[in-house]
Amino acid sequence: MTCKLLFVCLGNICRSPTAENIMNHLIEQASLTGSISCDSAGTASYHVGNPPDRRMSAAAVNKLGMELVGQARQLQPSDLKDFDLILAMDKANYQDILALDPTGKYRDKVHLMCEYCSKYSTQEVPDPYYGGTEGFNYVIDLLFDACSGLLASVKKS
């Protein structure tokens, strides 16, 4: 059985596609490609169809030697049913995800990404969109830490 992970941020061009790409890289390194699948989405429709942000992509190449791939899409109510774990980048995204689940049926699937960090104590992945290069680099480091912890957690379950 495949564990299906969904990473969610606001526009699906910075944080969530980066988490998806890092996680896919870690899954491949761990030879778990057939066991864990990833996707990402945004709670807003601002960037639907767009590739990851060029500044985020540049940071991923500089820090990890990794090209970010993907196309922005908006979170759908059906995603709550279709994915095993839904990982929100911040508390606003978390609340927006839960708003699609008024009965609370899928609430246990929704977590904050930073719950899986081991090196960082922050609770949210900040949105680097309006900041400079250092913000994008910080998000890469934070998501690499969180994805590593998430992979360890998924492997245990």
Q: What are the catalytic residues?
A: 9, 15, 127
- The span from the CA of 83 to the CA of 88, in Å, is 13
- The span from the CA of 66 to the CA of 69, in Å, is 9
DSSP string, 46-81: TTTTPPSPHHHHHHHHHHH---------B--HHHHH
- The span from the CA of 22 to the CA of 5, in Å, is 12
Nearest to 66 by CA among 140, 9, 16, 7: 140
Going by DSSP bridges, is the β-strand pair 3-9/110-112 parallel, antiparallel, or unpaired?
A: unpaired
The amino acid sitting at 39 is: D
